[in-house]
Amino acid sequence: MCALLVLGGATVFYYNRLVFNRHRVAEAASGIDVQLKRRASLIPALVECVRQYMSYEQSTLQALVQQRMRAVQLADSPLGQRAPVEAKLGSQLRQLFALVEAYPELKADSQFRELQGTISEVEDHIQMARRYYNGAVRELNVLVESVPSNLVARLFSFAPAEYFTMDDLRHGQSPKMEF
HEC assignment per residue over the chain: CHHHHHHHHHHHHHHHHHHHHHHHHHHHHHHHHHHHHHHHHHHHHHHHHHHCCCHHHHHHHHHHHHHHHHHHHCCCCCHHHHHHHHHHHHHHHHHHHHHHCCCHHHHHCHHHHHHHHHHHHHHHHHHHHHHHHHHHHHHHHHHHHCCCHHHHHHHCCCCCCCCCCCCCHHHHCCCCCCC
pLDDT, tens digit (0-9, with 9 covering 90-100), for 90-114: 999 988 888 888 888 888 888 998 9
State the pLDDT at residue 168.
52
Cβ atoms of 14 and 152 within 8 Å: the answer is yes
Most confident of 22-31, 49-58, 160-169: 22-31
Does residue 48 register a pLDDT over 80?
yes
Inter-residue contact 174 to 120 (CB < 8 Å): yes
Q: Is residue 155 over pLDDT 70?
A: yes
Is 89's pLDDT higher than 70?
Answer: yes
Determine the average pLDDT of the residues in 164-169: 66
Lowest average pLDDT, out of 50-64, 81-95, 157-171, goes to: 157-171
> Higher-confidence residue: 101 or 172?
101
